[in-house]
Structure 1
Amino acid sequence: MENISSSQRNGLSEWFRRRSSMLVDYNPAAGPYFTGRRPFLILLVLALIGTFAAGFLTYRHLILVSNTGGVPESALCRAQGNINCDAILMNDYATILGFVSSSALGLMGFVFVLWIVLNGLWNERMRKIAWTFLAIYFFAAIGFSWYYIYIMMFVVDYICTWCIVVHAVNFSSLAVVLVVAIKNKDNFLLKEISTPGERFYFVTLGIALALLSFAVATALEKMLVVEDMHVKYEELANDPAVIAAVLKSSPSYEIPVSPNDPVYGSPSAPHNLIFFSDFQCPICARTEGYLKKIVSVNQGVINLVYKNFPLSTECNSSVLGNLHPMACPAARAAYAAFLLAGSKGFWSYGDKLFESQKLLNKNPWLQFAQTLGFDTSRFERLLEPQSQAAKKIEEDVALGIKLKLNSTPQLFFKGKRIPENFRGPYLVEALEELAKAENPDDKDFRLKRP
């Protein structure tokens, strides 16, 4: 091992020695160091255009996700046909890892480019190292551009004009960088004339400015999102164009529905609204009541399919804490009612559970079964951990984990997850948009409002 390490070190040292021997001294009489000002001026213009475009997209993204009032259409990007900047900014691909705004990331990149270009203009000694950084940056930026161009063309079916401006700036800038680099390839062998101090401030301050711009935009967005969560989602949900765009571009899921699932409404209804719920969840109780009203006024058109996702560590390994400790036995009890009396028995028993959430810690399972006239001996056997009811809960929880659920209630319709901002009075609009997307010929499809 020592011989191999020594050989590697000797080879590396030899490479650096040969490289150093190829470097030549800079002769001021031969002209500007590395290149003149013109390429930097061209990149400055492109960077300013890119900064404006990315800045506008970042600003618009902040407005869309945080404005509690109405969000007026932007004069800089009016929705027309497939051209819809807002639809692009509000789809699932507008953030990286669900947190990092792609528009803020682009703004950070252009701030970094402006810093590099301005340094190259002001300080001739920094031009070679500046051009090296520009080449590295734009090669990376082109990768992002290709990805988002693909998303626009083949995934979301919407086009953002200012996004195209950003991508065009990236491609144009890379072309300029490559042309100048090839033309001045011999000048890359010039010895570095900038001082270590200049290089240090160039790199550290450039990175700091870029990160600061990104941090400010991201922190502002998250702060406004937390502050205005409730109202902003209601405003977005009131815009049918945004509803259609967001739902159309969201991921699709395959959620099986079988005769083993409790159904509210006609089992033969053509449209299934799938409801993942927890009987110890207060919001689930209110949501279920509203969903039943939608089904009741649209008999034979839509039904409600119940799936279990108790937020309890007893039967759900995906939850971190035992938020609802009685949710698992409550789910088994409700499904036992289904096995004994079908969907009608399930919903009657479920109503009892929701109405008596504060009493669930007293294990009222048999009492409720007796009140509803069930065979209590059979009912009690179905409450056991290895019963048919328990296995059904396991199946539902496994499906919920596969769908990456982490809370309740959760709604799915036509394979699409209904975001929380489309709940309440605007849920019906979301259901209509998804139904029409599945069957474009039925443009006049309407659901009655409860």
Structure 2
Amino acid sequence: MEKRRLSDDFNSAHIAYLAVSVLMIVVGIYLTKHFYNIHFPSGFGSEDALCKGTGFWGCNKATQSALGHFFFVPTSLFGIIIGLLGPIGAFWNAPEVERTNKFFIYLNALGCLGLFLYSIIALGGLCQFCTVYYVLSFIAAFIFFKFSSLKPIPDLKVSAVYGIILIVPSLFARNYFIEQSQKKDSLSGQYVQQFKNLPGKGEPSYISPFKINEATQNWEDAPVRIAVFSDFQCPFCEKVAKQIPQVIQGIEDKVNVSYYFYPLDNACNPNIKRAFHQFACKAAYLAACDTEKFVEVHDVIFERQRELSFDNLDKWANEFGLKNCFENQEVQDVVKQTINTGDQFNLTSTPTIVINGKVIKGSVPTVYLRAIIKSILENNE
């Protein structure tokens, strides 16, 4: 029986596959650009590492995850190559090409399924554009399954050509990543200058009693004063929580760091108009229950962020010997006070860091934050 081929004629199925291929290329290009913007931001705000109210959806977690790249080659680059199979198959119209394309389209769909499950289970959310790519990949696989009866057996010669098409841009991408990594130090001056140009918003009107580091008893006596507005359920806040000790390492006697609760949920934050981070308010109440135990509780909550639940928060309260934290009006009032302080800085997202009255939104690489603090200390000498 004659084998049916997708590319036998320019039918609607073939047109649909080409359209899907083009969309795969477009999405892949966007994700590749996003990858480099995340890893090598050019200044404040370019990283966009923020929690704004779309916690389940977001591409930053996926981009920064262990599967965001393979040996410094962005995973999205492989997606672009798979998308190119469509136009290549249209111009190189041969049975061995279609068999090879079918094999790689199936393999890609299987890989997308794996990445989808990894995102849900390990990352706790999905990247919108990655999800679009997954859907396109499944559509492409379905089109081949439905309209091509050729067996998905790769041809050696065609596979070798595809290998070259993959290896060349991969080498460029790897070298670019390494070069940009080596240039990070040279960008420190650019960040310092941008920080100097930021408008001053003044010191927090309320000095939080929740100290991550205390160089001086009086807040304003320290040459560097950092106010961290954070949400225990925000993944980027977890990143900042782990980053702060590295930022102030060796200069702890010169830096005051205070924590300000800013849960992104309407259960305790009137600025948030809907339910979002449903455990964030209760987590804030737990951490605010005892200032003496704050740092320990703060560290545990962020360390076990993916385990956050109402039951676990009750369990952790018992483990820390903290009682009546969640119903205590004084605890709720102090959390509300830190939330209200955020209004002074027009907070809309977390994490937000205020250094000596200047507002930085999102997470910033440690090397740049240290450069900013070094500049402040040098100017104070």
The TM-score with structure 1 as length reference comes to 0.43
> Greater helix share, 1 or 2?
1
Between 1 and 2, higher relative CO (CA 8 Å, sep ≥ 6) is seen in 2
Q: TM-score, normalised on structure 2? A: 0.49
Greater gyration radius: 1
